[in-house]
Amino acid sequence: MPTTSEETSSLAGTSVVVHPLVLLSVTDHASRAGITRGKRVVGVLLGQDNGKTINVANSFAVPFEEDERDGKTWFLDHDYIEGMMEMFKKVNAREKMIGWYHTGPKLRSSDLEIDKLMKRFTPRSTMVIIDPNRQDVGLPTDAYLAVEEIKDDGTATQKTFMHVPTTVEAEEAEEVGVEHLLRDIYDTTAVGSLSERVSSQLGALSGLYRRLIEIREYLEAVVSGDLPVNHEIVYELQNIFNYLPDLDKPETVRSFRVANNDRLLIVYLSSLIRAVIALHGLVNNRLEMARSESTAQNDSKESSKDPKDSKNSKSKDGDQSKDSQDVNPS
């Protein structure tokens, strides 16, 4: 079901910029609330709506409850929002309410009703899903804007969410604060650069594998008829496939072979150098053991000669004393 052309044209090129302070605040809110599986927390986003760019600079938590069995039953204290907005105006008048957030991790059936409530405070409400428990690689944010969607028969319209790209940007003061925070949490001296690189590559490959599984499941659902064909998604998938290298071209195969041979040569030289160093250490160890054994044998020989020399010296002293007695009789 397509959206109205006016809203689509107005939202073209719109992006949401999320600051690290918002991510830290939402993570703290989720940890203090002690969310469990299936539950989420809700808050308000503050910043500036500059038309094509929505700058999310701050946030605060809001009391929120919902029925897990019935998604249409929920409670949000809008009086609390009004009180907090009055206090934030006194602190920083530049930060205005631009939308709301929840910890998702996916869209809920009650999101449109909550977004309708938020539009009492701001004409264009931006909803951002921030997942503090996300494990795969990528940004933990997904932004949406409510738009009018035309039904297939063209008789009426209904509200739906349109995805908006998000980025994470930080000012200089925020960068310094985040660096100090990460320095307290993560000790860079405890882990070497090689293990860091291997861990990051493993995480990236795990995220890529999950994305490929999602693409495969979507295409299988489209082929089986469970989902309708979305030409925008198919177009993006075709772009992804176009970026893949053509392994049938001789130039590409030769370049891959050369790069692979270079990596194998480095591995071979490293193994060879490691073996030479190990043999050198073995030879040095043998020489040291031989020196220590010869020294021990010499010490044992000298110790065995000492008693005989002492006996000879004693006999010589006795003979000299007898001679002296014969020459000088008393």
Q: Give 106-115 pLDDT, tens digit per residue.
A: 888 889 999 9
pLDDT above 90: residue 272 = yes
Which pLDDT score is estimated for 319?
A: 53
Q: Is residue 168 part of a domain?
A: yes
Asked if 149 and 280 sit in the same domain, the reply is: no
Asked if 12 and 113 sit in the same domain, the reply is: yes
Asked if 111 and 27 sit in the same domain, the reply is: yes
Using an 8 Å Cβ cutoff, are 26 and 101 in contact? yes
Q: Is residue 166 part of a domain?
A: yes
Give bridge partners of residue 53 from the DSSP assignment: 15
Question: Could you give the C-alpha distances from 30 to 40, 42, 168, in angstroms and in order?
Answer: 8, 9, 19
Question: Could you give the C-alpha distances from 111 to 95, 104, 148, 229, in angstroms and in order?
Answer: 24, 10, 15, 25
What is the number of structural domains in the chain?
2
Q: Is residue 220 part of a domain?
A: no
Q: Which long-range contacts (CB under 8 A, 24 or more apart) does 73-79 make?
A: 74/110, 74/113, 74/114, 76/42, 76/114, 76/117, 78/117, 78/120
Q: Is residue 232 part of a domain?
A: no
Tell me which of 164, 185, 206 is where a domain ends.
185
pLDDT above 60: residue 5 = no
Section 37-50 average pLDDT: 87
pLDDT band at 330 (very low <50, low <70, confident <90, very high): very low
Q: Is residue 73 part of a domain?
A: yes
Asked if 262 and 163 sit in the same domain, the reply is: no
Hey, what are 324's tokens? 């002296």
Hey, what are 305's tokens? 């000669």
pTM (2 d.p.):
0.56
Q: How many helices (H) and strands (E) does the chain have?
A: 8, 10
Sign of the alpha-carbon torsion through 204, 205, 209, 215: positive
Tell me which of 162, 185, 208 is where a domain ends.
185
Gap between the Cα atoms of 57 and 55, Å rounded: 6
Its domain, for residue 115, covers: 5-185
Cis-peptide, bond into residue 2, ω within 30° of zero: no
pLDDT band at 309 (very low <50, low <70, confident <90, very high): low
Asked if 173 and 88 sit in the same domain, the reply is: yes
Tens digits of residue pLDDT in 239-250 = 888 888 787 888
Three-class DSSP labels, 166-211: EEECCCHHHHHHHHHHHHHHCCCCCCCHHHHHHHHHHHHHHHHHHH
Asked if 176 and 260 sit in the same domain, the reply is: no
Asked if 179 and 267 sit in the same domain, the reply is: no
Residue written as tokens 């003061």? 173
- Alpha helical stretches, state H, 46-110: 78-91
Hey, what are 148's tokens? 């009018």
Cα R_g (the chain), whole angstroms: 39
Mean pLDDT of the residues in the chain: 82
Q: Is residue 124 part of a domain?
A: yes
Which pLDDT score is estimated for 200?
A: 80
Tell me which of 185, 213, 234 is where a domain ends.
185
Q: Is residue 225 part of a domain?
A: no
